[in-house]
Chains A and B, each alone.
Chain A
């Protein structure tokens, strides 16, 4: 069964891409993921703020406690203690050398300057494409929705200006008009959209009156939101679309592809079941496609988008009314 798909101009052997996660920190585990059938991998995100904070910390530590006659410093000064993205780039290079599947660099940040700089470095280190994670949480009441969108546009434009490899944008679902934003992103040259970012939602410690970071893995329920917007956007854009968040099984992948995804990112399922889960999922997909007499994956790609679905209203407001009705019954 031919599961090939085109994503960001890259030909992928199948739609399953390993999303940005800790599995991408080790060359060995990336080899395992490739062997298990992953079609591509998105490396863990490089956080601009972390690098700048580390730079400031390094300077603080350098002079912490200094100014004492017996000790000019308190830590050694080895070669290669590099604060910047050097290690990330080295890792990217090592991964490129170790596997044949496309390797997508991931950037997470909020300012134009930093991104441009790091995206070019990733391209030079061999990334086949870039995934930009805007992760903008507007907390200031003075910032308008339009300004938030414009910030995203500016960042993507700056990165597109800097690199020649394909660039996808990982979005949050919280925009007033995703189709309009997608249109504007396409207009400035974005090559794909990744839907959606799962913000880490902190938890509350009621004993210590504290807000605590809490990472929860995705559940298949979360896929529904992605399916809707894949269906909506795939009908309106030529950009590549990726689903991320909630794809755990072959059925999930098939649904996403039917709604218009060119690739489907898996993370939580792999963290739970290990790399071999990819192989099992692909086997199940092949079985299903064969059983349902599909010729290849491309045949189903976007088949349930807003433009092609038999009942497109199900994606829209009418569906909401129907659900309420059914509840009342």
Chain B
């Protein structure tokens, strides 16, 4: 057997690379962490890569996982080998179809990167809760525990399904395996051809439906026959384990790697055994090797075939000497006797005894425990704790490990210092920002080491949950033996800080082992850096005896033409000082890797990177460590001392990156958290922030409107409020009549601003003598941070405007307090200004149901959340149900609110004698269509409460409880185009049809932004996107027109960057409309491929091109005999191509396939023109009285 080719890839690629080669069809849908598998398949097919039958697999994106599984089912039924890739809720959406596929004994494999199911919270990370949810479907469940195994089992599962006819879910741990980059042996096409039996493929095809030999499947059966027919399948399940064994044996024969249904590792006479599946098994394996070398009688059973469960093979795997077993489940099944694998093992032992195949004289004691939910760390120390538990007199059952449970006291104590990390393994931890390319460079480094040396290599990358200024931590291991450490590095030999700002924020040196090397990208030279370190860093450096190196990589990047990208420079430093490879060899290999990475994009990028490499070493310096600690400052506190208790006690720990240390008691039991916590997380990520020149300002408030993070605000207030203002606080007379005599201030939140520049771009006020200078200019944040922080605090203390006095137009809306602030959205995000506007106009009485996606992540991802409260404690109440059900979920809010109000009114009427007919009448019939009306109703409710106080009757008590519902509530469903156009469209359509007072806000970026820019039905024609690499060939779905077709739905299409007044009008009208409303909001996005500072220009350009007509369709106008449709944008001024040429998503196709791009551009122009004409004509129709409609 020839030495196999090795590759450095992650688990998703390892899986997809096999699946793509042994299937005819892939029906896909994006969901983290499986999206990359579909992306790889799509990319390979787009490039014409063939399967082992020399055919390019057909890869099709569906509208949901339900759709994907149905397409798979159909394709299988018509005889093609078909697969899909999914995870979590996606797998759950496939369950109905999975029952069908299994019931029809159809050969198929789904590849699943196992992920947590949303319960009290959503989590994108890994555990087996999704896998356990499909246990009853009749599918085989085959588990991989590493990248190599994912590659191998992708093949074995296909062999097994073809021979057994049982469909298989091949699964591995989301993130830990799906995203770990490792060195693996590659399975070549010839191996796959040898392993996939063509005769079995032919049989699969023969079972497919064909009118040439017709059959019927999917019949309905009655009580007389269903049961027996269901039992007829039994033999296939009985035989299935042997089919898997056969597949594994054939695999071993062909490629040399051996697997069993239950793989045992450890002392042949082990007494304590852990049973586990997935990546955790590798951590156990590693420790078992370590302990058995010390003579301990321990072992591990790695479960490969979870379903069908083979008692016989389990008994063969367990050593006869086994006395105690700990079964570990990476899932939680509340209310069950035990978790599923635990129950399986207990039952298997009992079954084995009853069948007479038990190897044990006395059955072992079995305990079970939970570990690793949502990718919680599962490391050597934790495994040791489990073995220790098994050694105890009375081992704890139903334990947890990896957390501190101080409530139900189920957790095992873990020695945090226990670490078996070998000196032979290099361990490096790298701190970077998402945008600086650190992760990419580290992936490159491990490729260099993994592919160019005999070392094994592993890379795992940890991200925070922010999109703007995201911190990345790369964990890299290299060593002479296979690396089984499926957990994060705790003792690093090398720690790199790629951004100086981390020095004062993050405890990076907690990762450094004594004698480690610490590399910093520092604006300070080697002779001055020491004094810039906070005390904690100086103390760690001295206590651990660290070697410190520094380089001003930012300057080197600038000088070598790399812009902001410091990655290549820091990578060069790493190789230069880590000693992993001889320096010259390392430099040569970096250059080789650069050529490999960028060569296909052009010599220019290669040359820029070469220049950066060459410019690095002369600027890299070792720091001489002084004898004394000289620091005068310590790290600033994580949150202000003014923060609420929960934020101090819990949130601040999460912000510090130490959430793992929080015990169970720290948490709410039902996922309920207070809002308004982003205000306590001061991230200081902007390099430059806007500075206001009050003398130039025309007081238009546009800056505040476009700010994605509510980090620049306007206030109008009494001059008296200025008493005690900080010295540098700016204030001018308010210019307009509505608040004559008042003062006016525009204030930036220096620590919350992301530096996106949108406010500066929109600012129309130029200095007439020096137009370069505007009322808002960007300036470095560092010198401004402290004075502007004080100014901002003072600004916040100024009274908010009286809402009843504000005109709700662009300017007035921005005097209203934003109740959505400082989210983690991208700098320059095009979605959040809409969400912020919603909260300014209606936030104090809004319930928001949010579809999963970008808006749920920046809207609700811990540690801090952006929905805020006003001084009265009112603000948006928010929940994210699922991706697909938001419209219905939100309709549910309306049903409850209306029903509660109905009950309150009934009780008001019951109590009218006591309360007074006038008050009751006013409460019931109040006009609440304006802020004045709302304020008056709040006063009435206050009066009602006063009257109800002390009353003990049931109605009185209940009415006091429900009185707030007499104030009109604003119900909003919010989500992206993936939700509204695709996965949630069925429900959205139904809610539109129902006509209830629900407002739907579609943040339309034209792609699935959150999962990385996959095409949706909102993707414009001629644009490229993931899953549409060849350019989208069909037009964007016209959701607005479809909604208008009902006639009773308020519909608006808006783009705040093109016409902000129309946007504000649309929000006001939608909310005031007493039926269903939908606003489709153009949102510029990083996935469009340009600097988001230019986002407003792109919004203007798409509107000018006619591709995004602005309109408002208000059924109230039709009721008055007017045309309900007002077209708010002018006929196209520029060609679609002129707009498209400014965005990478369109230009990409022009570069890769100019002929197709040209054709699609012509088609797109035709479609844009036609669509605009349709709107123009619709807006001109006569509805009776007006004889036409206005176009403005």
Contact = CB atoms under 8 A, between A and B. Distances in A.
B1087 A78 contact: no
A287 interface: no
Contact of A63 (B46, B565, B768): B565
A74 B565 contact: no
Interface in B14-42: 32-33, 35-36, 39
Contacts of A208: 766
B564 A210 contact: no
A145 interface: no
B1091 A60 contact: yes
B1152 A67 contact: no
Nearest to B1027: A76
A79 B49 CA distance: 12
A64 interface: yes
A56 B605 CA distance: 7
B1011 A75 contact: no
A79 B1152 contact: yes
Given A60-B565, A62-B440, A65-B467, A70 B604 contact: no
Interface in B160-190: 175
Nearest to B1013: A74
Contacts of B39: 76
Nearest to A26: B1158
A73 interface: yes
B1087 A81 contact: no
A11 B816 CA distance: 75
Interface in B1005-1024: 1009-1013, 1024
Contacts of B1152: 78-81
A86 B1151 CA distance: 9
B965 to A, nearest CB: 37
A60 B563 contact: yes
Given A80-B1152, A86-B602, A210-B771, A69 B175 contact: yes
A300 interface: no
Interface in A59-96: 59-87
Interface in B1085-1113: 1085-1087, 1089-1091
B1145 interface: yes
B470 interface: yes
Given A64-B1086, A83-B604, A84-B603, A74 B563 contact: no
A209 B435 contact: no
Nearest to A77: B43
A323 interface: no
Given A58-B605, A59-B605, A60-B564, A71 B1010 contact: yes
B988 interface: no
Interface in B433-455: 433-440
Given A68-B470, A70-B32, A78 B1024 contact: yes
Q: Kindly state the interface size class of chain A when it binds its partner.
A: 35 or more
A79 B32 contact: no
B1024 A59 contact: no
B186 to A, nearest CB: 20
A209 B768 contact: yes
Interface string B125-143: 1000000000000000000
A1 interface: no
Interface string A26-57: 00000000000000000000000001101111
B602 A68 contact: no
Contacts of A80: 600, 1151-1153
Contact of A87 (B439, B1085, B1151): B1151
Interface string B544-571: 0000000000000000011111010000
A63 B1145 CA distance: 15
B562 A71 contact: no
B435 A74 contact: no
A72 to B, nearest CB: 7
A70 B1010 contact: yes
A15 to B, nearest CB: 32
B1148 interface: yes
Nearest to B1087: A74
A56 B439 CA distance: 18
B1012 A69 contact: no
B1026 interface: yes
A117 B857 CA distance: 47
A81 B1145 contact: no
B36 A70 contact: no
Contact of A72 (B600, B1010, B1012): B1012
Q: Which 5 interchain pairs have the tightest Cβ spacing?
A: A67-B434, A84-B602, A71-B1012, A209-B771, A67-B470
Given A72-B36, A84-B601, 7 more contacts: A52-B604, A68-B434, A71-B1010, A71-B1013, A73-B1012, A83-B601, A117-B603
Interface of A: 51-52, 54-87, 117, 208-210
26 contacts: A51-B604, A55-B602, A57-B1144, A59-B562, A60-B564, A64-B435, A65-B467, A67-B438, A67-B472, A69-B125, A69-B463, A70-B33, A70-B857, A71-B1012, A72-B439, A73-B1012, A73-B1013, A74-B1085, A75-B1148, A76-B1013, A79-B1152, A80-B1151, A80-B1152, A80-B1153, A84-B605, A87-B1154
